[in-house]
């Protein structure tokens, strides 16, 4: 046991240098200009996994960005664990709000700052180094392990379901371990047992064929920016309830047990407000903050644009106005069904004097895992051994659509042992990963394989 | 008389070459990066006016972009006319919608295409050439004339009131002639007797201090894009009436005479829709299209932006959302008072979970001129002589705030003899000026000075 911990302690600098190298690759899956970078990142990872000594290392094609696979299957009689992570990252904009450039990792205040630091490259690399620690100290792993790292998580894992069906045999396992979630607070190791799903749209409204003078035509021709704000505003009522018919029909009510457990979590609302920099929180009436985040669906405007957005005053009626809209979904909402409801409703309320184009950009299923699963209990012990304190069960507001897919396509239960710090700023400028979580996460992952191993029958 | 017309006919190529040269100068007053170009344009114009042989030619400082002045005052006993125009232009974006670059004038289909072709460089240059025709053929003008060309019309003529007060003596005249309006239709020479005013704002809403993950925070933190669309949507009701209290209080009712006269104008709604490329027109209920354009105030969204506007799906709640908003105003609305009403109302409806910054970008007064004025009657005759058909009295939906300022500060009635074609696309991509209007406008301006001259007492 001690050799494992000693190895991890002795190699902190090497681990960090490797992570920094990984974080310099701008593997932005949403941006076609970065396609080659995404590919380069897959190749870098495959090289690392090969160097660890894993077998059958491959870069597997999908309909889009490739996935990286590797395995170590020399523990007969022991469970097989599929470790999932993603090596693609969110776009880094707005660039001018980063203190240091997003793809030039900077170490300060005990954190590494870079796009993908916590989401999810830091957590992927943590698993590589945990495997390295076992193999370099004992020459073996306590269990059988398969790595699968995808390059399309940030664009909705669009090809993963098909990929899972095609590689069903290769991916066969007893459970999937996912490290792509965050702690409840920076000193509260957490296991996530529920995630929200996603349905993401773009709405484009076309008014006049070109921008027109707001004096010469104002009053006579409909303004697509007005149509857009009026359509969008009508999608929520004054209680911040979504008004789309049927939107809440499949929402599973919050159980009294969960409501009580969540009330006991150390949620510090003033600190939360301060971190966000807002004078007041705001959300759906009738629910606590954690209930809104974990068990209630949302409808957000992720982006909106149209007309003149430069300096000064340009007096036009814009030809077009657009918005990116997305719903976070909770069990038992079905993303495709919700996408249908949203589309139908938008088509119903679109005024006749503009032309609408609706594009579905991505969908992902919500999920919940049982707390009694042996993998979940093993992860609980591994976290306590590494961090020296009780881990808590939480849900996540975000989406890891693949968690539901692993369940549905491969029949695998998911253990969500994430190490992201609560203030990691995923998807935002100055994304960061607390180094204590990174190094502690390497230990916890190494311990998890021990905790999952069955006692040998001599 | 014939020498004047002969000169104009003989010099068409020279006139057009000069206009093309003027149109290559990107004198975008709204954009600080073009400050030097605006200055260069003023100097180019001053050089042209000096070359004509006018006296006292000067580039006069304002608090912003300079104005250009020149005079010819050798007709004692005759009226003095101040000719106003502007040499600044609107920003050219969106650049990719221009068939040819905005500052590389292209001649096709009997038109010149360039930013500023009709608004207002083509019409300014027309007046220079009309004066040239008189001075080169008879060595004199029939009346006294002063040119004043400003460089801030497209940003609300912010310094012009102060400028008029400072140069009250220099600008003293019997009337002001403004050529910055368009015809009712391409074959209907028109005199504009009413214009709308303007009040232009930028609204910036700040939510969280930085963009946040729409999964991790969605439901708990207010989205400034939601606040913006909800605030904006509430500013109009279902009849497209503006809901801001007091907004319509000072609106002068449409007289039965005007209503009848406007109904007789050859308004071709299907052609108007086709030109705009819209399936249906849209505006305030209870008014005809011309009534909405000429005698009713508007509230438009000129631009809106916030969050992720790139390709793909970035799952954020934006930190900020902004809009450019403007009202077109009609007699007797006061722009400052309306600006106060809009500001007060926006502050009242802004939710407590975002922080609003409101910026007034420009204001301009609406105006109406009497149809009996001798200048208006002289312009009517000049138009008929040049174009061979009856000119019509119309109003304009746009704003030339300085028309009201000339009235208020200098006591000058305004004659709005504009030559813009109805489909000039001012402020939009592919702005253009019909060459028949340009050459006919030179003749009409030359004739106007004859029509305004008093018979000599021998």
DSSP letter string over A46-110?
A: HHHHHHHT-EEEEEE--SSS-EEEEEE---TTS-EEEEEEE--B----SGGG-SS-TTS-EEETT
Is there a single domain that holds both residue A212 and residue A358?
A: yes
Confirm if A31 and B310 have CB atoms less than 8 A apart.
yes
CA distance B421 to chain A (A): 12
Is there a single domain that holds both residue A162 and residue A124?
A: yes
Is residue B18 in some structural domain?
yes
Q: Which of A120, A153, A154, A258 is catalytic?
A: A153
In chain A, which residue's Cα lies nearest the Cα of B364?
A215
Give which of A240, A210, A241, A205 is closest to A226, Cα–Cα: A205
Give which of A208, A308, A352, A309 is closest to B423, Cα–Cα: A208
Is there a single domain that holds both residue B405 and residue B372?
A: yes
Strand order in the sheet with A432-434: A106-108, A111-113, A432-434
Three-point CA angle A393, A394, A399, nearest 5°: 135
Three-class SS state of B444: helix
Domain edge (last residue) among A324, A348, A364: A364
The CATH number that applies at residue B242 is 3.30.70.360
Distance CA A106, CA A100 (A): 7
Write the pLDDT tens digit of every residue in A340-375. Answer: 999 999 999 999 999 999 999 988 889 888 888 999
Number of domains, chain A: 2
User: What is the complex's ipTM, to 2 decimals?
Assistant: 0.76
- Look at A7 and B405; give whichever has higher pLDDT: A7
* Residue of A291, A302, A361, A397 to mutate for B, most B C-beta atoms under 10 A: A302
Is residue B266 in some structural domain?
no
What confidence score (pLDDT) does residue A367 get? Answer: 86
Is there a single domain that holds both residue A116 and residue A101?
A: yes
Three-class SS state of A115: coil
Task: List all residues 6 or more positions away from A352 whose beta carbon is below 8 Å from its beta carbon.
Answer: B279, B280
In chain B, which residue's Cα lies nearest the Cα of A277?
B209
Is residue B14 in some structural domain?
yes
Q: Under an 8 A CB cutoff, do B315 and A234 touch? A: no
Is there a single domain that holds both residue A126 and residue A203?
A: no
Distance CA B244, CA B234 (A): 9
Among A30, A289, A303, the residue with its CB nearest the CB of B306 is A303
Show the DSSP H helices in B115-159 as ranges. 122-137
- Give how far Cα A33 sits from Cα of A28, A62, A91, A366, Å: 9, 18, 11, 30
CA distance B96 to chain A (A): 11
Is residue B166 in some structural domain?
yes
Decide if B153 is catalytic: yes
In chain B, which residue's Cα lies nearest the Cα of A241?
B219
CA distance B183 to chain A (A): 11
What confidence score (pLDDT) does residue B458 get? Answer: 45
Is there a single domain that holds both residue B237 and residue B325?
A: yes
Where b means 16+ CB within 10 Å and e means fewer, B2-21 reads eebbebbeebeeebbebbbe
Distance CA A191, CA B447 (A): 86
Among B211, B217, B397, the residue with its CB nearest the CB of A429 is B211
Q: Under an 8 A CB cutoff, do B222 and A278 touch? A: yes
Distance CA B306, CA A185 (A): 29
Q: pLDDT per position in chain B (458 positions), as tens?
A: 589 999 999 999 999 999 999 999 999 999 999 999 999 999 999 999 999 999 999 999 999 999 999 999 999 999 999 999 999 999 999 999 999 999 999 999 999 999 999 999 999 999 999 999 999 999 999 999 999 999 999 988 889 999 999 999 999 999 999 999 999 989 999 999 999 999 999 999 999 999 999 998 999 999 999 999 999 999 999 999 999 999 999 999 998 988 988 998 989 999 999 989 999 999 999 999 999 999 999 999 999 999 999 998 889 999 999 999 999 999 999 999 999 999 999 999 999 999 999 999 988 889 888 888 999 999 999 999 999 998 999 998 987 768 888 988 999 999 999 999 988 999 999 999 999 999 999 999 999 999 999 875 54
What confidence score (pLDDT) does residue B115 get? Answer: 98
Give which of A151, A146, A147 is closest to A116, Cα–Cα: A151
pLDDT grade for A179, boundaries at 50, 70 and 90: very high
* Residue of B155, B192, B315, B319 to mutate for A, most A C-beta atoms under 10 A: B315
- Look at B147 and A186; give whichever has higher pLDDT: B147
Confirm if B361 and B156 have CB atoms less than 8 A apart.
yes
Omega before B332 within 30 of 0, i.e. cis: yes
Q: Which of B37, B71, B88, B150 is catalytic?
A: B88
The CATH number that applies at residue A383 is 3.40.630.10
CA distance A190 to chain B (A): 14
* Cross-strand pairs, B13: none
Tokens of A210: 């070109």
Is there a single domain that holds both residue B52 and residue B103?
A: yes
The residue segments making up the domain with residue A227 are 197-251+297-364
Q: How many CB atoms lie within 10 A of CB A391?
A: 21
Give which of B151, B136, B129 is closest to B18, Cα–Cα: B129
CA distance A283 to chain B (A): 5
In chain A, which residue's Cα lies nearest the Cα of B363?
A313
Distance CA A121, CA B289 (A): 59
Residues of A in contact with B226 (CB under 8 A): 232, 236, 300-301
Is there a single domain that holds both residue B167 and residue B218?
A: no
Domain edge (last residue) among B364, B390, B411: B364
Write the pLDDT tens digit of every residue in A393-419. Answer: 999 898 776 888 898 899 999 999 999
What confidence score (pLDDT) does residue A458 get? Answer: 45
Q: Say how many residues make up chain A.
A: 458
Q: Which of B37, B120, B150, B153 is catalytic?
A: B153
Distance CA A102, CA A432 (A): 10
Is residue A220 in some structural domain?
yes
What confidence score (pLDDT) does residue A456 get? Answer: 57
Domain edge (last residue) among A348, A364, A380: A364
**Which residue shows structure tokens 């999608």?**
A235
A to B CB pairs, distance under 8 Å: 368
Is residue B146 in some structural domain?
yes
* Residue of B93, B229, B402, B426 to mutate for A, most A C-beta atoms under 10 A: B229
Is there a single domain that holds both residue A144 and residue A91?
A: yes
Q: Under an 8 A CB cutoff, do A304 and B307 touch? A: yes
Is there a single domain that holds both residue B97 and residue B151?
A: yes
CA distance B143 to chain A (A): 33
Is there a single domain that holds both residue B148 and residue B122?
A: yes
CA distance A8 to chain B (A): 31
Give which of B116, B118, B180, B117 is closest to B148, Cα–Cα: B180
Phi and psi, residue A318, nearest 5°: -70, 150
Separation of first and last alpha carbons in chain B: 20
Three-class SS state of A183: coil
Confirm if B378 and B177 have CB atoms less than 8 A apart.
no
Q: Under an 8 A CB cutoff, do B310 and A91 touch? A: yes
pLDDT grade for A1, boundaries at 50, 70 and 90: low
Is residue A154 in some structural domain?
yes
Using CB atoms within 10 Å of the CB of residue B60, give its burial: 0 to 12 exposed, 13 to 18 middle, 19+ buried: middle
Q: Under an 8 A CB cutoff, do A221 and B352 touch? A: no
Q: Under an 8 A CB cutoff, do A310 and B94 touch? A: no
What confidence score (pLDDT) does residue B258 get? Answer: 87
Write the pLDDT tens digit of every residue in A149-165. Answer: 999 999 888 899 999 99
Q: What is the DSSP string of B150-172?
A: ES-GGGT-TTHHHHHHHTTTTT-
Task: List all residues 6 or more positions away from B418 whose beta carbon is below 8 Å from its beta carbon.
Answer: B123, B178, B179, B180, B181, B182, B183, B190, B192
Among A30, A296, A311, the residue with its CB nearest the CB of B311 is A30
Beta strands (DSSP E) in A196-319 are: 197-206, 212-213, 298-307, 316-317
Among B298, B307, B353, the residue with its CB nearest the CB of A218 is B298
Q: Which of A37, A71, A88, A451 is catalytic?
A: A88
Is residue B376 in some structural domain?
yes
Confirm if B238 and B253 have CB atoms less than 8 A apart.
no
Q: Say how many residues make up chain B.
A: 458
Q: Under an 8 A CB cutoff, do B215 and A318 touch? A: no
Span A43-57, mean pLDDT? 98
Q: Under an 8 A CB cutoff, do B306 and A307 touch? A: no
* Residue of A285, A313, A317, A349 to mutate for B, most B C-beta atoms under 10 A: A313
In chain B, which residue's Cα lies nearest the Cα of A316?
B302
In chain B, which residue's Cα lies nearest the Cα of A352?
B280
Q: Under an 8 A CB cutoff, do B427 and A213 touch? A: yes
Decide if B458 is catalytic: no
Phi and psi, residue B400, nearest 5°: -125, 85
* Residue of B207, B221, B353, B399 to mutate for A, most A C-beta atoms under 10 A: B221
Is there a single domain that holds both residue A37 and residue A62?
A: yes
Tokens of A393: 């069960």
């Amino acid at each position: 046991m001690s050799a494992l911990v000693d190895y991890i302690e002795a190699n902190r600098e090497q681990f960090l240098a490797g992570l920094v190298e990984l974080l310099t690759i701008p593997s932005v899956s949403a941006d076609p200009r970065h396609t080659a970078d995404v590919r380069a990142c897959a190749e870098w990872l495959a090289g690392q996994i090969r160097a660890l000594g894993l077998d059958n290392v491959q870069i597997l094609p999908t309909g889009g960005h490739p996935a990286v696979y590797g395995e170590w299957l020399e523990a007969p009689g022991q469970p097989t664990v599929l470790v999932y992570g993603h090596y693609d990252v969110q776009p880094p904009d707005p660039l001018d709000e980063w203190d240091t450039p997003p793809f030039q990792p900077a170490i300060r205040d005990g954190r590494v700052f870079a796009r993908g630091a916590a989401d999810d490259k830091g957590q992927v690399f943590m698993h590589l180094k945990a495997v390295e620690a076992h193999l370099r100290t004992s020459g073996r792993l306590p269990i059988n392990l398969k790595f699968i790292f995808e390059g399309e998580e940030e664009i909705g894992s669009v090809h993963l379901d098909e990929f899972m069906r095609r590689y069903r045999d290769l991916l066969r396992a007893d459970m999937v371990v996912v490290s792509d979630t965050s702690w409840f607070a920076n000193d509260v190791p957490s296991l996530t047992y529920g995630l929200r799903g996603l349905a993401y749209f773009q709405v484009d409204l076309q008014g006049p064929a070109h921008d027109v003078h707001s004096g010469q035509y104002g009053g006579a021709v409909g303004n697509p920016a007005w149509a857009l704000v009026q359509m969008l505003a009508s999608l929520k009522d004054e209680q911040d309830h979504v008004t789309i018919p049927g939107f809440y029909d499949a929402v599973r009510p919050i159980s009294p047990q969960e409501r009580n457990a969540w009330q006991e979590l150390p949620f510090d609302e003033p600190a939360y407000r301060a971190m966000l920099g807002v004078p007041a929180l705001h959300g759906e009436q009738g629910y606590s903050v954690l209930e809104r985040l974990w068990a209630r669906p949302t409808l957000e405007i992720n982006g909106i644009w149209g007309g003149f957005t430069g300096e000064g005053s340009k007096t036009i009626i814009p030809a077009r106005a657009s918005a990116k809209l997305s719903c976070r979904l909770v069990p038992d909402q079905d993303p495709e069904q919700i996408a249908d409801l949203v589309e139908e409703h938008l088509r119903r309320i679109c005024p006749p004097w503009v032309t609408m184009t609706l594009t579905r950009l991505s969908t992902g299923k919500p999920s919940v895992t049982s707390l009694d699963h042996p993998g979940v209990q093993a992860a609980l012990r591994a976290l306590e051994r590494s961090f020296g304190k009780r881990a808590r069960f939480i849900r996540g507001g975000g989406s890891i659509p693949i968690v539901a897919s692993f369940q549905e396509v491969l029949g695998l239960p998911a253990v969500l042992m994430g190490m992201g710090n609560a203030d990691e700023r995923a998807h935002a400028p100055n994304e960061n990963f607390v180094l204590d979580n990174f190094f502690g996460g390497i230990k916890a992952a190494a311990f998890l394989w021990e905790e999952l191993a069955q006692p040998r029958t001599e």
